[in-house]
Amino acid sequence: MNTLLLHPAVVHVPLGLAVVMPLLLGAMLWAVVAQRLPAKVWLVVVLLQGVLLGGAALALRTGEQGEDRVEARAGESAVEAHERAAQAFTAAAGATFLAAAVALALRKRPGPFLVAGGASVALSVGMLVLGIQTGSRGGALVHGGAEVVRGGEPR
């Protein structure tokens, strides 16, 4: 299978989820703490964060497999910067998943649940920032980035 074509298809799932997860985690945390929803619904955000983490890991793998072909066009430093950003995004996705899973385990203890849930919200905001950075660098690889702005041709 052509991983160069698979990578752009895969990356949009975790990046799209990264945009909605801070809001969803925050809303779900409020709803559970305010007793508007039962604490067991927190499982929904844990599962969605798991999908995000799995998608990010798959995107990282497919990106690494096509790395040499893209470096020939875009340059090694640009590809390496994108890869480092993707690794940081994936690590943040993992940390967010872990915090959300801990909150799920603590759902019957309101104080600890609030702390772990709040941590997952905060981590998801950081994850979003890293996701924007990763997507921006990936977009620059695909669309020429600085070369387009300067009026030149991508390498």
Classify each residue of 36-68 as buried b or exposed e, where b means 16 or more C-beta atoms within 10 Å of its C-beta. eeebeebeebbebbeebbebbbbbbebbeebbe
Average pLDDT over residues 51-66: 92
Per residue in 85-125, pLDDT tens? 999 999 999 999 999 999 999 999 999 999 999 999 999 99
- The phi, psi pair for 134, rounded to 5°, reads -65, -45
Q: Is 32 exposed, middle or buried (0-12, 13-18, 19+ CB in 10 A)?
A: buried
* Residue 24 pLDDT grade (very low, low, confident, very high; cuts 50, 70, 90): very high
Handedness of CA 48, 92, 66, 135 (dihedral sign): positive
Q: Using pLDDT thresholds of 50, 70 and 90, give the confidence band for residue 27.
A: very high
Q: Which of 94-98, 139-143, 145-149 has the lowest mean pLDDT?
A: 145-149
Gyration radius from the chain CA atoms: 18
